[in-house]
Amino acid sequence: MKQINLLKYLLLVLVLFTLDCTDSQVQEISVEELAVQMNTNDSLLILDVRTEAELAGSLGQIEGVVNIPIDKLEERIKELDAYKEYEIAVICRSGRRSERGTKILYQGGFNAKNVVGGMQEYRKMGY
């Protein structure tokens, strides 16, 4: 009887873990896909979550981006409410902070995708 209860418990934990993992998966977009979307998608917003100093740095910035640093995103998320129906490409230097930003936006009901490789990859690919 104890083995059956333990088995049920383990199965429940496995199901809950699986549901949690699939629910929080971050959607991604490559820099190549981003470049295409920038030219074809009128409802695309690029959100750069780097600091202002980084935007002025050697990697520069993509023209027309909205900048909200990652450490301010949760408190400033309401600024993006006008873009609820947009596709939001979230970018940073390498893709780590933008992954976190994508999760924050997803939890806020936004359609967001992490730009894999960030501005480093964007520049490396010649954009």
Task: Report whether pLDDT(52) > 80.
Answer: yes
Domain 26-124 sits in CATH 3.40.640.10: no
pLDDT of residue 2: 62
Residues 83-113: tens digit of each pLDDT:
999 999 999 999 999 999 999 999 999 999 9
Higher-confidence position of 63 and 3: 63
Task: Report whether pLDDT(4) > 70.
Answer: no
- Residue boundaries of the structural domains of the chain: 26-124
Q: Which residues partner with 30 through β-bridges?
A: none
Termini Cα distance of the chain: 63
pTM, 2 dp: 0.81
Find how far residue 96's CA is from the centre of its chain.
9
Strands of 44-48's sheet, edge to edge?
A: 28-29, 111-115, 87-91, 44-48, 66-67
Find how far residue 100's CA is from the centre of its chain.
6
pLDDT of residue 25: 80
Q: Which amino acid is at 107?
A: Q
Task: Report whether pLDDT(5) > 60.
Answer: no
Higher-confidence position of 46 and 14: 46
Residues 9-36: tens digit of each pLDDT:
545 555 544 444 444 589 999 999 999 9
